[in-house]
């Protein structure tokens, strides 16, 4: 028994030490490795941001490749629109021939038309002939200017001037150098004079003779179409649309002037169809104006683009436009293609991927090398575009108002560390508490062991002393000749022997229970008979010379008279004896109030309750009294002897038989200990459980009535 106690104490010590060492080791681990782990987490977050920035830069490079592919497809299809391509980055693209001529956007009129006679080189004949020809050309030029002044007359009195202008234009129309301008002026004069046939004749002659030439920097075909349209606003809008779509090859600036002049001639309210044409024309004007500006802005960069271009694309900053980047490469035919972009276009081209979300509201920012993000954003990572775009760098940023991702990582890990450390600290505190409780329990066990040894020694010594004393008295013949005295001495020896045997049996039972070797032999017993036998045995063991013996009253319910339980008979009787012994020791009162034994039964089982009228048990002690060796302070103060094993044995035995032991007590009013024993399970012939079947008949009712009014067993024993 004591070995079992020592083993349990050893386990308490081991668990207490573990409760201290495990949390302490955990806290040491966190302290030693948390800094390294934090650095690793920060490094992982930084690497993730760096990878995200590099991935965005790579996607921008891929979009640039797709833009060049779209340009090559348009050129291969011979589909070179004036407007942007479908690919976003190629919105403002260009195509430069090897000789520096800009094809897209158009920057100069093609040399498809024959130059004006005034622009031709001087003659290469004899000097006298060249001088004479030059003189005649100067004379014709003077007449042409005079005719234009006469044509410019406005008002009611201009008829003569217009006639003079018509005469001079007709003379000059025969010459190649002044013919186109003269025929154009002649058509205008006929229009002012109201001669429609004259106008048509002059226009037809101009188209026939000079259809492949230009006049006043305009194609003759465009001039003829405009003259024939007259004031037809629909026709004028159609001509302007043809100029805008490139039907007439003119310089973009010249084309813009022509379109705006034609549009001015169709001002005012128009029918819906013409209004739609004019609205579309406005959009075309804006496109042409943009094209013209783009061509003008690109002109200064053409020499360097031709010189630096290679088969692999690259980029450079535009000469006269800060923030604009020209991305270009050389084609196999020696021409250069490319497009102009700004930082916002490159940022939009990157798109978005889930891996970019390394921080809340993270976004790319393309800046010139050497520049840094503003104070309203937080730089996360930087990636370069390599040698392709050496003047640009990609910055991955997020708003300064949003959390710093590194702080989020550190805060999250710190939170985990705090949680782990708190849990380990709680465990450490519990370990310390367990150690303190273990030490207190060990001290308590040591005290209980000491008290137990002392008590058992006294309990064994008392009956042995009585047995020895009366045996010696018999041996010396003190009672010789007195049969009554001799019988009394023999009775004391037998009684003390039985008392000693019961004490030793308790110790042996507890030892077997602790080792797990206690075996129970269960038989069906009548619960009322068990209670009566226990009371009878207890009365036999009581000291007959004690004057304050409390009587014992037994009450058996009618149901209990016929109730059987399947138990170990000796064990149950011993449990009842222990309860009666406690009731007799602690419930002994001068008024000799009876110890009440109530035997009852219900559908579930039987109960045996032992009640005394002693001082009672405080509520906080009612759980402890069933512990081994435990005796309450009140028991020690009362001077009542005991080992502290009785109630522990009762609880162990009854629970081993499937029953329960309960206590109910009020201080000053006594205590009631109740043993509940289950009924045996009834089965039919097939072995099936049919449950308990209590039977109460008329005869048992009569017997129960007699038992309920039974006399004091103690007095009758």
Query: Contacts by 558-561 with C-beta closer than 8 Å and gap 24+?
Result: 558/696, 558/700, 558/701, 558/704, 558/705, 559/600, 559/601, 559/602, 559/694, 559/696, 560/527, 560/528, 560/599, 560/600, 560/601, 560/606, 560/704, 561/526, 561/528, 561/696, 561/700, 561/703, 561/704, 561/707
**Structure confidence at residue 506 (pLDDT):** 67
d(CA 166, CA 185): 8
d(CA 610, CA 349): 93
Domains of the chain, by residue range, sit at: 117-294, 519-716
d(CA 303, CA 281): 34
d(CA 459, CA 638): 16
The string of pLDDT tens digits covering residues 2-32 is 445 455 556 666 766 676 677 767 666 666 5
d(CA 380, CA 50): 8
- The enclosing H or E element of 128 equals helix 127-151
CATH class of 519-716: alpha beta
Query: Would you call 392 helix, strand, or coil by DSSP?
Result: strand
With DSSP H G I counted as helix, E B as strand and the rest as coil, what are the percentages for the chain, rounded to 5?
55, 15, 30
8 Å CB contact between 563 and 524: no
pTM above 0.75, yes or no: no
**Structure confidence at residue 5 (pLDDT):** 46
Instruction: Map 532-600 to HEC letters.
Output: HHHHHHHHHHCCCCCCCCCCEEEEECHHHHCCEEEECHHHHHHHHHHHHHHHHHHCCCCCCCCEEEEEE
The pair of three-digit structure tokens given for residue 252, joined into one six-digit string: 């973009």
CA atoms within 13 A on the CB side of 715: 11
Averages of pLDDT over runs of 10 residues in the chain (717 residues) are 51 66 69 62 88 94 94 83 73 89 68 43 62 82 87 85 89 86 87 86 86 79 84 85 78 76 83 85 77 78 92 91 91 93 92 90 92 92 92 94 83 66 71 72 65 59 74 76 78 75 70 69 90 87 62 90 89 88 77 87 92 86 78 66 74 88 89 91 54 39 33 30
**Structure confidence at residue 15 (pLDDT):** 67
Which residue has tokens 């060249």? 130
Closest CA to 694 of 548, 557, 585: 557
The string of pLDDT tens digits covering residues 591-604 is 678 889 999 999 88
CB neighbour list of residue 29: distance below 8 Å, 6 or more residues apart: none
d(CA 680, CA 673): 23
DSSP assignment string, 664-695: EEETTTEEEEEEEEEPPPPB-TTS-B------
* Preceding omega of 66 cis (within 30 degrees of 0): no
d(CA 193, CA 188): 9
**CATH no., domain 117-294:** 1.25.40
**Structure confidence at residue 697 (pLDDT):** 38
Which residue has tokens 């004896």? 577
């Amino acid at each position: 028994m004591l070995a079992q106690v020592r083993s349990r104490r050893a386990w308490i010590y081991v668990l207490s030490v573990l409760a201290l060492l495990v949390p302490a080791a955990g806290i040491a681990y966190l302290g030693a490795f948390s800094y390294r782990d934090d650095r690793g987490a920060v490094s992982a977050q930084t690497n993730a941001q760096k990878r995200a920035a590099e991935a965005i830069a790579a996607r921008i490079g891929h979009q640039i490749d797709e833009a060049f592919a779209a340009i090559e497809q348009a050129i291969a299809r011979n589909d070179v629109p004036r407007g942007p391509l479908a690919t976003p980055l190629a919105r403002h693209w260009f195509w430069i021939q090897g000789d520096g001529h800009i094809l897209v956007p158009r920057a100069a009129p093609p040399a498809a038309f024959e130059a004006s006679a005034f622009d031709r080189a001087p003659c290469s004949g004899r000097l006298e002939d060249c001088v004479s020809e030059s003189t005649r050309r100067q004379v014709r030029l003077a007449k042409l200017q005079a005719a234009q002044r006469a044509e410019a007359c406005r008002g009611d009195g201009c008829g003569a001037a217009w006639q003079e202008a018509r005469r001079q234009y007709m003379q000059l129309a025969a010459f190649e150098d002044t013919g186109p301008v003269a025929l154009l002026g002649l058509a205008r004069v006929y229009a002012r004079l109201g001669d429609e046939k004259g106008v048509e004749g002059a226009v037809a002659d101009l188209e026939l003779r000079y259809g492949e030439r230009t006049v006043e920097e305009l194609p003759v075909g465009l001039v003829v179409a405009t003259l024939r349209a007259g004031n037809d606003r629909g026709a004028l809008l159609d001509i302007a649309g043809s100029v805008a779509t490139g039907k007439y090859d003119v310089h973009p600036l010249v084309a813009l002037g022509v379109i705006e002049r034609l549009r001015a001639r169709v001002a005012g309210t128009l029918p819906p169809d013409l209004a739609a044409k004019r609205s579309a024309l406005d959009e075309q004007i804006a496109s042409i104006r943009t094209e013209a500006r783009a061509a003008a802005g690109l002109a200064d960069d053409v020499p360097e683009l031709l010189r630096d271009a290679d088969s692999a694309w690259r980029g450079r900053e535009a000469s006269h436009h800060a923030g604009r980047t020209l991305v270009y490469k050389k084609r196999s035919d020696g021409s250069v293609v490319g497009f102009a972009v700004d930082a916002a276009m490159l940022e939009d081209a990157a798109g978005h991927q889930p891996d970019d979300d390394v921080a809340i509201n993270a976004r790319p920012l393309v800046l010139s090398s050497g520049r840094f993000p503003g104070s309203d954003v937080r730089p996360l990572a930087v990636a370069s575009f390599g040698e392709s775009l050496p003047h640009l760098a990609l910055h991955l940023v997020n708003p300064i108002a949003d959390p710093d991702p590194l702080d989020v990582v550190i805060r999250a890990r710190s939170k985990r560390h705090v949680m782990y450390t708190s849990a380990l600290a709680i465990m450490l505190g519990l370990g310390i508490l367990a150690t303190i409780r273990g030490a207190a329990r060990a001290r308590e066990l040591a005290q209980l062991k000491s008290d137990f040894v002392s008590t058992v020694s006294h309990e064994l010594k008392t009956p042995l002393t009585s047995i020895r004393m009366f045996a010696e008295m018999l041996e010396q013949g003190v009672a010789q000749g007195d049969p009554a005295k001799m019988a009394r001495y023999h009775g004391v020896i037998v009684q003390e022997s039985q008392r000693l045997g019961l004490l030793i049996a308790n110790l042996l039972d507890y030892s077997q229970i602790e080792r797990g070797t206690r075996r129970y032999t269960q038989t069906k017993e009548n619960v009322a008979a068990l209670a009566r036998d226990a009371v009878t045995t207890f009365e036999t063991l009581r000291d007959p010379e004690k004057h304050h013996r409390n009587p014992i009253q037994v009450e058996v319910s009618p149901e209990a008279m016929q109730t059987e339980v399947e138990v170990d008979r000796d064990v149950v009787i011993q449990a009842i004896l222990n309860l009666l012994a406690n009731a007799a020791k602690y419930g002994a009162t001068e008024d000799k109030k009876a110890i009440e034994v109530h035997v009852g039964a219900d559908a579930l089982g039987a109960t045996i309750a032992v009640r005394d009228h002693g001082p009672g048990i405080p509520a906080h002690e009612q759980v402890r009294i069933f512990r081994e060796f435990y005796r309450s302070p009140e028991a020690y103060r009362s001077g009542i002897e005991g080992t502290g094993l009785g109630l522990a044995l009762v609880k162990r035995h009854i629970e081993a038989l499937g029953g329960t032991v309960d206590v109910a007590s009020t201080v000053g009013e006594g205590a009631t200990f109740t043993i509940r024993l289950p009924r045996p399970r009834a089965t039919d012939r097939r072995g099936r459980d049919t449950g308990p079947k209590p039977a109460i008949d008329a005869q048992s009712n009569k017997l129960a009535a007699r038992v309920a009014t039974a006399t004091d067993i103690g007095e009758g024993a």
